[in-house]
Structure 1
Amino acid sequence: MLSAEENFQSQVPEPVFADGSSLVPSQRPFLCLERKLYGLGNVYGLAGNKYGWMVEVDPDAPAQQAVKHTALGRFRHEAVAVRAEAGQPLVVYSGCDRRGGHLYRFVSSKTVADLKDKANSRLLEEGELQVARFKPDGTGDWLPLRPDTAVDPFLPSRFDQADLACPVELPNSDREQAVAELFRDDASVQAYRERYPTLASLYRGDGAAMQGAILVDAHLAASAAGGTPTARPEDTKIDPISGDLLIAFTSGSPGSSGGADPEVFQGPEGQATWPNGWVMRLSDQGENGFRWRMAVTGGTPWAGGLGFTNPDNVAVDAKGNLWIVTDRSMKGSAGDVFGNNSCWFVPRNGGANGGQDETAACFAIGPMECEVTGVCLDRPEKTLFLAIQHPGEVHGSRQQGDEEFQAHELVDREGTAFQQLRQLPLGSNWPAQAPGRPPRPGVVAIRRSSGQLLLGV
C-alpha cells in the first residue's frame, strides 16, 4: 500500500538547498490556532527534506518497517496510480497538489515478472522520474528529471497573454538560497536559462548525490525543466478498460506563486481560468509521448459544467463508469451555489468515456462543511465507500437553531433564470445527528438493502 501527505509543508520547511539539504526546522515556526497546528516539525526538530515522499506499508506485515520510495520524487503527493503489466516496466503516476503543480511519471529500469510478487516493490528503487509537458493541441511529452536535462521553463508571457498576473516559480538563481524565486518576465527567464543550461548546473553533488538533490527538489526541478504548471492535480487512476490515466484537476484558479497553463486548462468557453476543475483522460503514446483531453468539466450546467465543482478523488468501476467526489472550500461564498461536497456518477457512455454528450448524476451528498474523499468500491461492486473529512470545518459543532439563509440565482433546463432561497444549518453534529454533539470524521459504506450489485445491472 502506498501512502503520502500532500500538506507536509505546513509542518516542516519545504525548500531545500542546491545539494538537497534542508533548512533548519525553525524556518517553519510553531503556530497554534483555534482549529489548526502548524510547524510541528519545529517542535520535534524534524528536517523538512525527510518529508514529502511516497511511502509503502504492507498491511499483512504491520511490524515490517515502512519503505520511503525516494525515486518517486519529493513533492506534494496527493495520490498515486500504478500501471503493472507482465514483461513491462512498472509505471507510477502522481500529481503535486498545488496551484501550478506538475504531473509526474516514474518508469522502472527493470520489468515486472509476476504481477502478484511483493518483490515488485524493489522495482521502485531504480528508474526515471519524469514530468509532463502538455501542449495545447492535445499532445504532450514526458521530460526526464536527470542532470543532463535542459533548463527550459514555462514562460511568464504565456500567463500575460491570458491577462493573468501569475509568476513562474524556479529554483533560486542564488544557489546559496533555498527559497524559490518568482519570475515575471521572459527576459529574466532567458537570462536564467543562459546561466543555468541544465539541471546539473542548478544542483550540486556527484553522480547519485546530484540525482538525489534533483529528486528532493522535484517540484522546482520540474519547473526548471519545462514541466507544465497545472490545475492542482489530485487523484490519479487507471481506466481498467482503455488503460488511460484519469487525473482529477481540482481547480484552475491562480495563486500567488503560480497558476495553470491557460492554453491547456480552459473553461467550457475558453476561459483562461476555471475554478471548478476537470477530470483529464491521458493516454501514453510511444516511449515518451502522450495524448490528453478533458473528459469531464466541473461547473454549473448553465455555464457548461456537469453540476459539481472541485473534483478531488475518482474511482473507476469494472464497466468503466467514473465516480467522482468533490472538495470545494467551505470558507468562502463563491462556491455556495454547489452546496455540500458530494459524490457523482459519470456513466461510461457519457462524454467522459468516448461518447458525444457528457452526463453526470449526484449519487450522495456529504454532511455540512465536510470534504468527501476516498471513493472506492469493493471487489464485487456491491458497496461504495466514502470518507467524510472534517465535518463542521467552519462553524464546528452545530447548536440548536444555528442556521442561515442563502439566495442563489439558478437557470433551468429551458435557460430561464430563477431565484432559489436555501435554509442551511451552520456547523455539524455528524454522525450523531444531535445538536451540541461534536462532529467527527468517518467512513461510510453505501450498499443496496437487497444485497444486489450497487448499480443493479
Structure 2
Amino acid sequence: MNRRSLLIQLLGLSLGAASTPALARPQNLNGQPGLQTKRPFPPLRGPMPLPTDGLSAAQQQRLYKRIELDDKVVVPEGYRAELVLSWGDRLGSGRVGFNNDYLAFQPLAGDQALLTINFEYISARPWCEGYAEVTGQTLPFAQLQTELERRGGEVDLAALAANDPLRPLVTAVAEAALVDQGIGVATLQRQGDGRWRRVNSKLDRRIHGLSGWRPGEQRLQVSGPAAAVFRQRKRQGYDDGLTDAVIGSFANCAGGQTPWGTVLSAEENFQTQVVEAVYADGSSPSPARRPFRFDGRRLEGLGNPFGLAGNKYGWMVEVDPRRPEQAAVKHSWLGRFRHEAVAVRARQGEPLVVYSGCDRHGGHLYRFVSAEPVGDPQDRANSRLFAQGRLEVAQFSSDGQGRWLPLEPGTAINPRRPSTLAVDGVGQSAVVPNSDRSQAGSMALESDAAVNDYCRLFSTLGDLYPGAGEAQQGAILIDAHLAANAIGATPAARPEDTDIDPTTGELLISFTAGGSDGSERADPAIFRGPRGETSWPYGWVMRLADGPAQMKSSGGTFQWRMVATGGTPWQGGMGFSNPDNLAVDRGGNIWLVTDRSTSSASLDVFGNNACWVLPRRGPNAGEALLFATGPMECELCGPCFDSEEATLFLAVQHPGEDNGTRQAGGEEYQAFTLRDRANQPFQQLRRVPIGSNWPSEQPGRVPRPGVVMIQRRAGGKLLPDCH
C-alpha cells in the first residue's frame, strides 16, 4: 500500500470544482452490475474492492478509482440512522458523558426502555474545543497548559503548596474530565412510528469518575478477596483512608448483561489515570507515580489530584439500572486488568461462568467460575455468586486445544520462555512480577535461563504473593495480568469483546491486533496471519467451545478456531480491520464494529471505522458485509438491539479525535494502491475530510460523541431474511 497526502487545505487554500476530480461516495451495492446473490440487506460499497461486492475486476477498477469519505453515519438503502443522545445532554443529576462506548438495552413496561451507557475516556482536543459550547461553562485550558509547560509538563498535586495557583487549575480540569467518564442510565420511549426518543425519568442516573468524592455522594462497593486487601491497616504501599469503599468508576469501555437484569461495566485503560503497578500485598504505590499531565492533546493522571488508589480501578463493575439507590459493586473475583468486555453464562444448576479479555498486547483471556450454582437465572440474588469462586486464565495450544490455569496461591510458576515467543529470531521478554518483592511492578526476563532462575526463586503464586487467606488471594487478583504471565498463560492479540453465540453456545472473541507494543507481544504460534505472518495488525474473531466448568475443581479444557480474519482481501483478509465489539442476534448473525487507529497511516486504506455483518445462513454465510460507516476519526462501539431486533443502537465515539473541529473546506486527498479480484493493482484517489462536525454536520461546529439508532424505514426486523 502506498499512502500519500496529495492536497491538504492549508491557510484557507482549497480546490475549486473545476480542478477537483469527480469522486464517488461509497454507496449501496444493490443494483450494481454483476451482483447476483440475494443479500440480507443491500451492503454499502466501502473504500476498497471486496470479494463480496459482486463486481468484475474491470468494474472494481472503475468504481473504486475515485471515492469520497463522509463525515456522517452512512447506512444501507432502506435504513435510517438518527441521533438518540449526545455528549452534554441532561442525564439524571448530571449530563451525558464523553466518548460513549458500551450500550445495554433493557425493556420496561409501557413501551419504555433503559439504555445503560459507558463513557470511556477523554479525547483532549475535541473535548477542549467543545466543552464551553456543550456545557455552557468554561475551563482554564490555555492557562493550565502554559503553567504546566513552565513546570516541565506534569505535576504531583500533593507536592504543591496549599496556596499554589496551579492547584485550582489542575483540580478544575481533572474534575470535569472524570465527571465526563463513567456510566449512565437513560430512559427511552418508543414512539408510534417505532422510533426511540429520550425522556426523563426517576431511573436516569450517572455514576462518574468522582462519584463519592464529595460528601453525601454514593460511593462504590467491592466484593470478593480484594476487599480484604483494601481493609488492611498495615501495607507496603499507599493508603487512601477509605478501606473498602471506592470513589468512582472511569475508563469504562465495553461490558455485558446478566440474565437477571444487571449490567457489567468494564474498566479498561485505567493505567493512564492512576498507578497500575502494585506491591506483593496488593497495595498501590503513591499517586505521585502517575502525575497529572495536560498538553492540549493528552490528559493523563486524572486520579492524582484526588489521591485515588490505583488498585481500586481496573475492575468489572455491576450496576442495576432499575435500582438507582443501589450502589454499584466492583467484583474482585473477576480480576483487575484492562477489562474490555464480559460474557455471562448462567444455567440453572451449574456454576456461573464469566469470560473477559484484557485489551493489551500480550493480554489474556480469563474465566470466572462461581463456587455455588445458579438457581433461577433471572433471580437478582444471583449477584451474590460473584462474591465467591475462582479466576482462571487461558493457555492456548497451536493444535486448536487449550486449558484453564487457576489464579490461586498453589499454582506453579512457569512463565513462557522468551524463545517460544521469538519472531524472526528475536526473542520476546517474559514480563513477570518483580523478583524484589519490596518493589512494585514488573521485571523483564530476557532469556530462557533467566526464566529458569526465576522459577527457582518462586515455586508458586503463593511465594510471589506471601500474604494469607483472603488478602493473599486478593493480591493475586489485583495483580492478575502479571500473575497470569507468571504461570504461563498465553499472551494474546488484544482480546476485546466476548459474546456467547445463542445458537451454538460457543464463545466468540474478537482480537483487535497481533504483534507487539515493545513490551509484550501476542503468541506468534497462535495469532498468525492468513499466510503465516507472525505479526498481523488487523485482528481476528475466534470461536471457543468450552468444556464444563466444575465448582469444586479448577481447570478444564476447550477447543478454539479462528473464524474471521481482518486485513485487505489481497492479503487474505475479509476487508475490515481491528474488530472490537461484537453482538450476536437471535439468528446467529455476528455484528462486528471496528477500532482501527485513525492516526495510523498504515491503516488508512480501510477508511472510516465501520459496522459489519457476518451472516450465519444464506449464500453469504460467514462473509463480511458492510452495514454502516461512521463519521471522521471516530470509532463505532457498543452494538446492541432492542427486544424485537428492529433497532440497532451504536455509540459513535471520538469523532474528530485527531484533528478536532472541521473547518469549511478542510480536506485532503490520499492515494492508495489497491488490487481487484484478479489481483491486479490499480490506483485510487480518495477525498478525506479533516476533522469532524458530527452530529451537526455544520462546518465549524464542534464534534460530539453520541448514540444513534438504526432502523429499516419500512419497519420490522433489521435482517428479516436472516431469521
> Scaled by the length of structure 2, what TM-score is found?
0.62
- Which of 566, 569, 577 is the aligned partner of 1:301? 569
Once the two structures are superposed, what CA deviation does each residue of 1:282-323 show, in whole Å capped at 9, x if it has no partner? 011244100001111000011111100000100001011101
Deviation at 1:356, TM superposition (A): 11
Report what 1:396 is aligned to.
660
Question: Retained in 2: the 8 A contact 1:162–1:262?
Answer: no
- Which of 369, 382, 406 is the aligned partner of 1:144? 406
Matching of residue 170 in structure 1 with residue 432 in structure 2: yes
In structure 2, relative to structure 1, the CA distance for the partners of 1:333 and 1:165 (3 Å cut) is farther
The one-letter amino acid paired with 1:143 is: L
Deviation at 1:40, TM superposition (A): 1.2
Aligned identity (percent) is 60
Q: Which secondary structure state, in structure 1, belongs to the residue aligned with residue 392 of structure 2?
A: strand
Distance in 2, Cα, partners of 1:117 & 1:449? 37
Matching of residue 362 in structure 1 with residue 626 in structure 2: yes
Deviation at 1:177, TM superposition (A): 1.0
Question: What is the number of residues matched between the two proteins?
Answer: 453
Report what 2:331 is aligned to.
69
Deviation at 1:4, TM superposition (A): 2.0
The one-letter amino acid paired with 1:276 is: Y
- Which of 673, 684, 708 is the aligned partner of 1:409? 673
Distance in 1, Cα, partners of 2:620 & 2:667? 42
Report what 1:191 is aligned to.
453
The one-letter amino acid paired with 1:441 is: P
The one-letter amino acid paired with 2:680 is: T
Report what 2:344 is aligned to.
82
Distance in 2, Cα, partners of 1:65 & 1:360? 41
The one-letter amino acid paired with 2:558 is: F
Distance in 2, Cα, partners of 1:12 & 1:110? 34
Question: Retained in 2: the 8 A contact 1:236–1:314?
Answer: yes
Distance in 2, Cα, partners of 1:163 & 1:360? 35
Unaligned runs of 5+ in 2: 1-262, 550-555
Q: Which secondary structure state, in structure 2, belongs to the residue aligned with residue 367 of structure 1?
A: coil
Distance in 1, Cα, partners of 2:544 & 2:573? 20
Matching of residue 319 in structure 1 with residue 319 in structure 2: no
Report what 1:5 is aligned to.
267
Once the two structures are superposed, what CA deviation does each residue of 1:359-378 show, in whole Å capped at 9, x if it has no partner? 11110000000011101111
Report what 2:462 is aligned to.
200
> Scaled by the length of structure 1, what TM-score is found?
0.97
Question: Retained in 1: the 8 A contact 2:275–2:285?
Answer: yes
Query: Runs of 4 or more off by more than 3 Å in structure 1?
Result: 161-165, 355-358
Report what 2:374 is aligned to.
112
In structure 2, relative to structure 1, the CA distance for the partners of 1:161 and 1:387 (3 Å cut) is closer
Report what 1:274 is aligned to.
536
Report what 2:291 is aligned to.
29
Deviation at 1:164, TM superposition (A): 4.5
Q: Which secondary structure state, in structure 2, belongs to the residue aligned with residue 56 of structure 1?
A: strand
Question: Retained in 2: the 8 A contact 1:323–1:344?
Answer: yes
Distance in 2, Cα, partners of 1:97 & 1:393? 20
Deviation at 1:357, TM superposition (A): 7.5
Distance in 1, Cα, partners of 2:446 & 2:620? 40
Question: Retained in 2: the 8 A contact 1:6–1:76?
Answer: yes
Deviation at 1:452, TM superposition (A): 1.5
Question: Retained in 2: the 8 A contact 1:166–1:255?
Answer: no
Deviation at 1:56, TM superposition (A): 0.7
Once the two structures are superposed, what CA deviation does each residue of 1:158-217 show, in whole Å capped at 9, x if it has no partner? 122544453221001111111211122100011101111100110021111111110010
- Greater mean alpha carbon deviation, residues 374-383 or residues 109-118: 374-383
Q: CA RMSD, aligned part only?
A: 1.3
Report what 1:156 is aligned to.
418
Deviation at 1:441, TM superposition (A): 0.4
Report what 2:148 is aligned to.
none
Unaligned runs of 5+ in 1: none
Deviation at 1:253, TM superposition (A): 2.2
Report what 2:713 is aligned to.
449
Matching of residue 179 in structure 1 with residue 441 in structure 2: yes
In structure 2, relative to structure 1, the CA distance for the partners of 1:339 and 1:164 (3 Å cut) is farther
The one-letter amino acid paired with 2:614 is: V
Matching of residue 433 in structure 1 with residue 701 in structure 2: no
The one-letter amino acid paired with 2:349 is: G
Distance in 2, Cα, partners of 1:319 & 1:155? 43
Question: Retained in 2: the 8 A contact 1:306–1:358?
Answer: no
Q: Which secondary structure state, in structure 2, belongs to the residue aligned with residue 335 of structure 1?
A: helix
Deviation at 1:155, TM superposition (A): 1.2
The one-letter amino acid paired with 1:156 is: P
Q: Which secondary structure state, in structure 2, belongs to the residue aligned with residue 4 of structure 1?
A: strand
Distance in 1, Cα, partners of 2:499 & 2:426? 31
Structure number with greater CO (CA < 8 Å, separation at least 6) is 2
The one-letter amino acid paired with 2:327 is: Q
Q: How does 1:237-386 map to 2 (within 5 A)?
A: 237-287=499-549, 288-349=556-617, 358-386=622-650
Question: Retained in 2: the 8 A contact 1:403–1:423?
Answer: yes
The one-letter amino acid paired with 1:454 is: L
- Which of 660, 682, 703 is the aligned partner of 1:418? 682
Question: Retained in 2: the 8 A contact 1:77–1:96?
Answer: yes
Distance in 2, Cα, partners of 1:55 & 1:441? 23
Distance in 2, Cα, partners of 1:8 & 1:384? 29
Once the two structures are superposed, what CA deviation does each residue of 1:62-111 show, in whole Å capped at 9, x if it has no partner? 11111110111111101110001011100000001111000000000100
Deviation at 1:235, TM superposition (A): 0.7
